[in-house]
Amino acid sequence: MLFLIIEGVALWSYASSSPYTEAKILSRTTAVGGAISGTITDVEHFFSLAENNRQLAARVAELSERVAQYDDLDVTLGGEEVSDAVVDSLATRHEGHFRYREARVVSMTTNRMRNFIILDRGAEEGIAPNMGVVTPNNELVGYVVSCSSHYCVVQPMLNVEFSTGGRLVDNDHVCMIIWSGDSKYRVEAQDISVYAEPREGMVVEVRSERLPDGVTIGTIEECELNSTKSAYSAVIAIAADMSRLDNVLIVENTHYGELEELKQELNL
């Protein structure tokens, strides 16, 4: 203690002995103080990353919902050019039928033939089977298959029982997406029309009533004609990193029940 006092007095005396030393020592102590303060801020920032992620995911969900509303509005207006004011005015009155909720992965598997993901949202938050699950970058993860009060189980693409409709972005040809269990980075696209002319690098999106347009499945890595030369099958590199999922979005089509009823009526 005595050492600190005497040393402090000596340094203060030296520092204030000339404008040069005063300025130099002040700048040094400010730099050191700034560095310490910066380090403390970095540590605090690190521990608040989880909360920041959650907030960002919530924001992405909100924005995705609004984009979906605008997309629907664009279809309603028949693509005719209208002023921004008119679009905004209509958007406030227009009800999009896709709802987004952020969720966090509680647990997941990727090394089995029937993999599952558990999310921290359940029936109490309005989650129900057949809702879609996407990453914040709008890449397909899977579909909700079961719910408890506070959790839901998602069947991801990496499940041999998984299937969904796909669409080649370049030419709108549809296909069936399945997983054969060969690789956790690839799924298969089947029944691609011979007129689709699929090729490497083509982007494949989801075509399903459970999700809006624009949700990416991945890109074609290789494709080949089947033995009867009636359709193509392709290997698709999955866009989402399925082994590093953390925050995801659950997508609800509010018209899905209506569509299902209609299908049942017609026995489709």
Partner 1 sequence: MFRSVPYIGMTLMVLFLQIFILDELSIALWLRPMIFPIVVMLLPMEWRTIWVMLATLAVGLVMDLAQGGAGLYTATLLPLSVLRSWVLYITTRRGVEHGDQTSLFSRMSMRNIMTYVGAMLVLHHAMFFVLERLSFAMPLQLVLTIVCSSALSLIIAWPIVRLYSSKIA
Binding residues for partner 1 (CB under 8 A): 2-3, 6-7, 9-15, 17-18, 20-21, 24-25, 28
Please say which residue, 11 or 77, places its beta carbon nearer to partner 1: 11
CA distances from 252 to 121, 134, 143, 199 (A): 13, 11, 10, 32
Please say which residue, 28 or 45, places its beta carbon nearer to partner 1: 28
Least distance in angstroms from the C-beta of 213 to partner 1:
60
Please say which residue, 5 or 85, places its beta carbon nearer to partner 1: 5
Please say which residue, 14 or 77, places its beta carbon nearer to partner 1: 14
Least distance in angstroms from the C-beta of 35 to partner 1:
15
95, 174 contact by CB (below 8 A): no
Q: Which tokens belong to 75?
A: 């279809």
Please say which residue, 24 or 112, places its beta carbon nearer to partner 1: 24
Distance CA 60, CA 63 (A): 5
Phi, psi of 110 (to 5 degrees): -135, 0
Least distance in angstroms from the C-beta of 3 to partner 1:
6
Report the candidate in 117, 103, 137, 115 with the shortest Cα–Cα distance to residue 239: 137
Least distance in angstroms from the C-beta of 38 to partner 1:
20
Least distance in angstroms from the C-beta of 36 to partner 1:
19
DSSP per position, 94-135: ---SEEEEEEEEEEE--SSSB--EEES--GGGT--TT-EEE-
Please say which residue, 1 or 266, places its beta carbon nearer to partner 1: 1
221, 204 contact by CB (below 8 A): no
Query: Helix, strand or coil for residue 228?
Result: coil
H/E segment holding residue 46: helix 19-47
Q: Which residues contact 217 (CB under 8 A, 6 or more apart)?
A: 139, 140, 157, 164, 166, 177, 187, 204, 205, 206, 236, 238, 239
Least distance in angstroms from the C-beta of 33 to partner 1:
16
Please say which residue, 21 or 76, places its beta carbon nearer to partner 1: 21
Least distance in angstroms from the C-beta of 34 to partner 1:
17
With tokens 């402090």, the residue in question is 8
